[in-house]
A and B are shown apart, each in its own frame.
Chain A
Amino acid sequence: MGKKLVSLENIAFKYEGQSRHAVDHVSFDIYEGEWLAIVGHNGSGKSTLAKLLNGLQFPQAGTILVNGKELTEETVWEARSKIGMVFQNPDNQFVGATVQDDVAFGLENAGIPLPEMVQRVQNALNKVKMESFLNQEPHHLSGGQKQRVAIAGVLALQPDLIILDEATSMLDPRGREEVLETVRELKEENLLTVISITHDLEEAAKADRMIVMNEGKLYRQGIPTDIFQMEGELIELGLDIPFSVKLSKELKERGIGLIKSHLTEEELVRELCELHSKM
């Protein structure tokens, strides 16, 4: 594992007027170059966690270190330039009148001079394959396209870490695949670190590491294969495990000679085919 990019130490956060902690003394590290999935049912504190990481909220207890520097009111803008965020609703994060204006919005805020800005907007849009939509208005784009523009807007700022806060939950399956594929490619190319906050376990299955949140507490962390072993527990937490994991388990119980556990459909199909050819 690479070096620590962000570490959370004993973070606690409570919304005003609520008795329960939204985030209840949580500690974990985020390493450079990894894809970390944070899962949990509604109200488990996973979205609050994202807001804390980006300094949109500040914890009442504990410290967050970004690149070894503590995240405080003074360092928040510096931290935000390193941490990009893509939100849930594609419409409500589109600031500009057209695609290129929206990508430029973050750059304008950072005071980047015009020639460089034009360059960066172009590059970022190329990376998410939206370069042919430069002057398109948001209401002519699909949800998946809007989210890709949002990703381009984040990329243009050249962050170290991208947080996807349920960024695919309002998209249709095609848009979802489109967005995840884009992020996956970017991660390979740029050694970007990705945190995806989601309740879609199919999406989480493809991550390098997973964190399960429950009632504000960190319930479990580990690699997806290990996490999905605790099938029953996950269901109790209000999470549904991926179809392929379920099917492979059922098949094993019925005495089909499968050995591995299967996080994706492809893996399952492959082993079933291998098994079939051996028979």
Chain B
Amino acid sequence: MLDKMILGRYVPVDSTIHKMDPRSKLLLVFLFVCIIFLANNLISYGLIGLFTLILLMLSKIPIRFLYNGLKPILFLIIFTFVLHILFTKEGEVVFNFGWLEIYDGGLRQGLFISLRFTFLILVTSLLTLTTNPISITDGMETLLHPFKKWKLPVHELSLMMSIALRFIPTLMEETDKIMKAQMARGVDFSSGPLKERIKAIVPLLVPLFVSAFKRAEELAIAMEARGYRGGEGRTKYRQLKWQTVDTLLMLSLVVLTILLVLLRS
């Protein structure tokens, strides 16, 4: 039940985007976040919108998953839109109602900013929706590899991440078990005032932490027994494959960037 909250983001569908190399997807998201700031008029926003739409179509992700990703941020989008309408006083007045004056500049600004938000969220959530967490970890490790020169512990970070991901279901199961054990002893997690409910979580967290530390220690011993001694001289079992699709998508991103530079006003 709880693990759906964190891991349920990944939607396993058979699509072009799913089959792509996690490295290219990570790069895509990173570059997309940068170039979206190039857009400043209707055509350039339209172009980015079109690009986003094509990506979404290629991913075959059902719309409700995308909407779920957007939901928490919806309030922020509407809030900025309203804020711009009320307080950006540029261009001509398009609407006048007593003290309320709406300028076309404000309308445009508000629209653009909310579109920018929407596109950003859609594309970044596309990454987590189409890539399983372990592949993201693998992709990050290879992409960050050059930073090893500056003493960034890339291998350790990615190992930490993959172990953390591997233990989420295990710890969730344990939480569930402890929760039931405490409920059997009369702890009430689901009703009462907020203060009481927060207090009820303490007897849940303490045993969970104790056991997590114990697990960590045992895992460390098991890893050492299997010859783990850091990233030096290690080979990798998981291999990433850069395919034609990845190159094509990167190229399309370059084209998009050039078009944006040309079309922006």
Interface of A is mostly: helix
A95:B219 contact, CB within 8 angstroms: yes
Instruction: Identify which of residues 130-185 in chain A touch chain B, using a CB-to-CB cut-off of 8 Å.
Output: 137-139, 153-154, 157
Residues of B within 8 A of A138 (CB): 166, 169-170
B37 at the interface (CB under 8 A from A): no
Interface of B is mostly: helix
Instruction: Identify which of residues 141-173 in chain B touch chain A, using a CB-to-CB cut-off of 8 Å.
Output: 162-163, 165-166, 169-170, 173
Interface size range on A against B: 35 or more
Residues of B within 8 A of A43 (CB): none
A137:B169 contact, CB within 8 angstroms: yes
B228:A105 contact, CB within 8 angstroms: yes
Given A56-B224, A101-B238, A104-B237; A109-B229 close (CB under 8 Å) = yes
Q: How far is the CA of A110 from the CA of B229 in the complex (A)?
A: 9
A89:B218 contact, CB within 8 angstroms: yes
B226:A109 contact, CB within 8 angstroms: yes
Instruction: Identify which of residues 170-226 in chain B touch chain A, using a CB-to-CB cut-off of 8 Å.
Output: 170, 173, 214-215, 218-219, 221-226
Residues of A within 8 A of B134 (CB): 97-98
A121:B237 contact, CB within 8 angstroms: yes
Residues of B within 8 A of A104 (CB): 237
Q: By CB atoms of chain A within 10 A, which of B162, B169, B214, B238 has the most?
A: B238
Given A97-B166, A108-B234, A138-B166; A56-B218 close (CB under 8 Å) = no
Stretch of A58-66, A77-85, A195-203, A268-276 that contacts chain B: A77-85
Which residue of A77, A93, A96 contacts B218 across the interface (Cβ within 8 Å)? Answer: A93
Q: How far is the CA of A169 from the CA of B222 in the complex (A)?
A: 17
Q: Known pairs A95-B163, A110-B227; list 13 more (Cβ under 8 Å).
A: A56-B225, A92-B218, A92-B222, A95-B222, A97-B134, A106-B227, A107-B237, A111-B234, A113-B235, A114-B239, A121-B237, A137-B166, A139-B173
Which residues on A are within 8 Å of B, measured CB to CB? 51, 54, 56, 77, 80-81, 84-85, 87, 89, 91-98, 100-101, 104-114, 117-118, 121, 137-139, 153-154, 157
**Which 9 pairs show the lowest CB-CB distances between chains A and B?**
A104-B237, A93-B222, A92-B218, A139-B169, A109-B227, A106-B226, A85-B225, A97-B134, A111-B233
